[in-house]
Structure 1
Amino acid sequence: MLINALDHFVILVPDAEAAADQYGLLLGRECDWKHHNPTDGTTTAVFFLGNTSVELLGPSGDGPVGARIREILGDKPGALTTLVFNTDDIHETHYSASRRGLRPEEIIGQSATYNGLTRSWSRFRCGDPLFDDVKVFMLSNTEGVKVVIPPRAGAATRVDHIVLNTANPERTMAAYGAKLDLRLALDRTNEKWGARFIFFRTHDLTIEVVQRLDGSMSAEDKDHLWGVTYEVNDLDDAHTRLTVAGVQVSEVRKGRKAGTRVMSVKSHDLGIPTLLLDNKGER
């Protein structure tokens, strides 16, 4: 496969405008891009980070995609559903995906304008049932570039990792390792933490596959995206900023990865388990 990086991931939300305000407070950033698709019946709000983007996708008006989002969400505040990988050559990647049995759908070209700037891209979905409940797309940007606004103190700068829960790690390794050709960086079982951890790397972002050993998932349960860890430029500033703004967060604590500190986010997270992390170690 010709994958460069994770272009973005998608969180489905009931109202993209309201979710952008809420998530912007959490990330400490302004929304970088918005567009409305009346044909699909959706509104998109995007935050450009240093190594990927966060796309909030919600229903707006009538349209089949918006109706499907409402059906998926029910009364949930959000759902982390989709990984979109970047490629320089969408046609060659489509051919490769066909050869690898990823069941690629047709390539679709799209374009949108916001604040006088236009972005265009081509994409296709991989329909391989190995991905279970995770929607996987390939995308190539054909016009427009990401403009990342420098973050203020305590703001999110990049995504450290995205967590995917599985009950069948061998199947997941076949999907992301053998078929998508992501680099396997770690495969380790930690009895103390009650899980097997499989790390796939794409550019400088990790997709952390977790098989929990407590039997909470059965062999019939489908793989699903679970949570996100964002890196911030100063965790102490982030803790102060969020606490003052009324966002519920835990105390800062030592992270599992050496030299890191983390805190849990307990509100304004759109229902997605969320950690904030920095690499400054203990003080």
Structure 2
Amino acid sequence: MTGEALVDGIDRIMIGVRDVAEAERIYTRMLGRSPSWRYRDGGTERVIYRLGNMSVDLLSSSETGAPWGSLLSSQLDKAGEGIVGIVFSTPDAARTVEGLKARGLPAVLFPEAEVSGPAGERRRWRSLMVPAEIARGLFMMGHEQLSPEPLPGAALRPGLREDEAISALDHVVVMTSDADACKHLFGEQFGIRLALDQSKPEWGVRQLFFRLGGVTLEVVQPLDSGKAPERDQYWGLAWKAGNVGTVRDRLAREGADVSEVRKGRKKGTEVATIRKPTCGVPVLLVGPAAESA
């Protein structure tokens, strides 16, 4: 049974990359937006895009002797580029840590932090960390915003219309070998609402759909144990598009490798796949199906 929610949204998805400048080029084209902020912290160089319901955090190692830089370098050496973690938002990091500990998940609370951007702008926050080794191999953090103003939204690139850009995340996918264990982790320990638990033999999977702050956290367990990952892993992202065809056509004009629009698995939706380069992240566009002619 799910208890009180200890987090209230997804603050950002962290994507580990080798070259943050190249990753910025890729995601500025993909999203149709310019970055909200750039900064260095703990041996990492980061580029942030704040969207409607979360942020994209591109990070590369800039100093391997520093704690976060060393951790990221090790992760990239083992698994390559891709999603390295989720940062949940919380109004009270200390309270979240105490709640997680009470539910058997010993999170770590960090001291208040403050960093400056390239123009001297300063931001303050308090963070917590759930080590991957106690969370099925999934690196997770929590973030309490202490700055009085939110991070600026990622502005449209010059010359683009709003309907040609990506404005929000629809869902993030976690692959697992044990859906029940993830149900306990996300539902019972974090207190995130489980909206749907279904098995789809025709697709060969069991799916859990957790809802949090306007984003779906989708957990997928292959029904064939031989196809399940040895260790749980963050897999892919599905971006919201008001009109999938419009965003898809803009990406194609700009030279991206993107599929044709097709019918989505969810009734009333259509999708398109954005292929490499995506910094190791499987990417889907999803939106309402266009009205039939």
Structure 1 stretch 76-85 or stretch 272-281: which is displaced more?
76-85
CA–CA distance in 1 between the matches of 2:239 and 2:137? 23
Residues 92 and 75 (structure 1 numbering): CA distance in 2 closer, same or farther, change over 3 Å?
Answer: closer
Name whichever structure is richer in strand by fraction.
Answer: 1
Q: Which residue of 1 aligns with 2:182?
A: 172
1:129 positional shift: 4.0
Q: Which residue of 2 aligns with 1:49?
A: 51
CA–CA distance in 2 between the matches of 1:103 and 1:266? 38
1:63 positional shift: 3.0
Residues 61 and 150 (structure 1 numbering): CA distance in 2 closer, same or farther, change over 3 Å?
Answer: closer
SS in 2 for 1:248: coil
Gaps of 5+ in 1: none
8 Å CA contact 2:33–2:165 kept in 1: the answer is yes
Q: Deviations over 1:223-274 (max 9, x none)?
A: 1110000012332221121111111011001111122111001123111110
Q: Which residue of 2 aligns with 1:110?
A: 113
Q: Which residue of 1 aligns with 2:257?
A: 248
Percent sequence identity over aligned pairs = 29
Matched, 1:181 2:180: no
Q: Deviations over 1:112-134 (max 9, x none)?
A: 22234322110010237452221
Q: Which residue of 1 aligns with 2:82?
A: 79
CA–CA distance in 2 between the matches of 1:275 and 1:142? 33
8 Å CA contact 2:115–2:124 kept in 1: the answer is yes
Gaps of 5+ in 2: 157-161
Q: Which residue of 2 aligns with 1:14?
A: 18
Q: Which residue of 2 aligns with 1:148?
A: 153
Counterpart among 100, 105, 108 of residue 103 in structure 2: 100
CA–CA distance in 1 between the matches of 2:240 and 2:274? 13
Residues 255 and 30 (structure 1 numbering): CA distance in 2 closer, same or farther, change over 3 Å?
Answer: same
SS in 2 for 1:3: coil
Q: Which residue of 1 aligns with 2:123?
A: 119
Q: Which residue of 1 aligns with 2:159?
A: none
1:106 positional shift: 3.0
Q: Which residue of 2 aligns with 1:32?
A: 36
1:75 positional shift: 8.6
Residues 76 and 91 (structure 1 numbering): CA distance in 2 closer, same or farther, change over 3 Å?
Answer: closer
1:77 positional shift: 5.7
CA–CA distance in 2 between the matches of 1:129 and 1:68? 13
CA–CA distance in 2 between the matches of 1:5 and 1:67? 28
1:136 positional shift: 1.2
SS in 2 for 1:181: coil
CA–CA distance in 1 between the matches of 2:78 and 2:219? 27
1:2 positional shift: 2.9
CA–CA distance in 2 between the matches of 1:153 and 1:246? 18
The one-letter code matched in structure 1 to 2:153 is V
8 Å CA contact 1:5–1:202 kept in 2: the answer is yes
Length-normalised TM-score, structure 1: 0.92
Q: Which residue of 2 aligns with 1:277?
A: 286
Structure 1 stretch 139-148 or stretch 50-59: which is displaced more?
139-148
CA–CA distance in 2 between the matches of 1:120 and 1:216? 45
Q: Which residue of 2 aligns with 1:2?
A: 6
The one-letter code matched in structure 2 to 1:175 is L
The one-letter code matched in structure 2 to 1:185 is A
